[in-house]
Amino acid sequence: MENAAQFFLLLMLSPLVTGVIRTLKARLQTRRGPGILQLYRDLQKLFSKGMVIPETASWIFTVTPWIVFFSTILAGLMIPMVAAEAPLGLFGGVLAVIYLLGLGRFFLALSGMDTGSSFGGLGSSREMTISALAEPAMMLAIFTVAIGAGSTGLTEIAGTAIGQSWRFLAPSQMFAFAALSLVLIAETGRIPVDNPDTHLELTMIHEAMILEYSGPYLALLEWAASIKQLVLMTLLINCFWPFGLQPTWFGFGAVEGICWLLGKLLLLSCAIVLLETVNAKMRLFRVPELLAVAFTLGSLALISTFLF
């Protein structure tokens, strides 16, 4: 039951979040923007189209969209969204979530190189560079949170967080939050690191990898990207601002939990939009600097849990 509910929520909510971010950003730049529901329409259109598969592509090319999509969904089912109790608790909890997302990224990078187009290879190499730098920072921040809960299981982490809503004011939590926010920007390909709106830039990262995809496969990848964004955003808000998070998925509490979730997602989206609008995209060689800051913040977070 809760499995199905969260599955549905992930599938249906993620295009909405992307749409809201795009619309808000357009409004902030005094454009009209494409409307909140545009990604749903795009997905529907792409699913009803035929597709072109390059002659040079191997089986990796066809299997990648499925792996990316389902590993992201699986990761999404393991995080607490509405209730602290996650529908699925695999080994390692949050570690499994991170490495499921890593699995998706691995196959995406492979498929970028698979077709032999130079753009795909560039995109893959950039993506791997950035993720290799982002991952340690993310792990450090996550471990800080996990130490507070005494477990890497996300259900336990969210459960402890419920008891102490103001915990994020502790310095170590704040460092971890800052580190994880920077990682979120890098991982979801948002503006100081990558531009999510275009595949016409030479410096694109995510878009370069999926440049050869079309039709339903492209739809799967786009959908997976927006689900990944939702998963990471939810992870961030429910670890650090557990307001309104319900202990279990029962009855009326679930509705309240969903309302809180939507509110917090909206707030975080506003923050992302602001950040994207006031910043210009970084040069690729400057990205390691941003991630070094994230790494330092992450290690400070871990250190200060022991020292403060």
Name the segment binding another protein (CB under 8 A); options: 31-39, 51-59, 149-157, 166-174.
166-174
Total residue length of the chain: 308
| Residue 75: burial class (beta carbons within 10 Å; 0-12, 13-18, 19+) | buried
Q: Is residue 83 within 8 Å of residue 260, measured between CB atoms?
A: no
Q: Binding another protein by CB under 8 A: which of 16, 174, 266, 275?
A: 174
Count of residues that bind another protein according to CB under 8 A:
21
CB of 166 to another protein, least distance (A): 9
Pick between residue 74 and residue 293 the one whose CB is nearest to another protein. Answer: 293
Nearer to another protein, 201 or 289 (CB): 289
Instruction: Assess 175 for contact with another protein (CB under 8 A).
Output: yes
Stretch of 60-68, 148-156, 184-192, 288-296 lying at the interface with another protein (CB under 8 A) = 288-296
By the rule CB under 8 A, 297 interacts with another protein: yes
Q: Interacting stretch for another protein, rule CB under 8 A, among 14-22, 58-66, 201-209, 287-295?
A: 287-295
Q: Say whether residue 304 binds another protein (CB under 8 A).
A: yes
Q: What is the DSSP string of 48-63?
A: TS-----TT--HHHHH
Per CB under 8 A, does 275 bind another protein? no
Given a contact cutoff of 8 angstroms between Cβ atoms, the answer to whether 108 and 64 are in contact is yes
Six-digit token pair at 36? Answer: 């909140």
- Rounded distance, CA 207 to CA 215, Å? 15
278 binds another protein (CB under 8 A): no
Provide, rounded to whole angstroms, the least separation between the CB of residue 289 and another protein: 4
Helix, strand, coil in percent for the chain, rounding step 5 = 70, 0, 25
170 counts as binding another protein under rule CB under 8 A = yes
From the list 5, 26, 95, 178, which residue makes contact with another protein (rule: CB under 8 A)?
178
Enter the tokens of residue 183.
């990682």
Specify the stretch interacting with another protein by CB under 8 A; choose among 155-163, 174-182, 188-196, 224-232. Answer: 174-182
For position 299 contacting another protein by CB under 8 A, the verdict is yes
Task: Name the nearest CA neighbour of 76 among 95, 54, 101, 58.
Answer: 101
Q: Is 295 in the site for another protein (CB under 8 A)?
A: yes
Q: Which of 158, 203, 289, 305 binds another protein (CB under 8 A)?
A: 289
Torsion sign across C-alpha atoms 185, 186, 190, 192: positive
Q: Judged by CB under 8 A, does residue 214 bind another protein?
A: no
Query: Which structure tokens are listed for 205?
Result: 């990262």
Please identify which residue in 81, 110, 239, 300 interacts with another protein, judged by CB under 8 A: 300
Which residues are 246's β-sheet partners? 83
Of the candidate spans 67-75, 120-128, 143-151, 169-177, the one that interacts with another protein by CB under 8 A turns out to be: 169-177
Q: Are 308 and 171 in contact (CB under 8 A)?
A: yes
DSSP one-letter string for 112-139: HHHT--HHHHHHHHHHHHHHHHHHHHHH
Query: Which residue ranges make up the site for another protein (CB under 8 A)?
Result: 169-171, 174-175, 178, 288-293, 295-297, 299-300, 303-304, 307-308
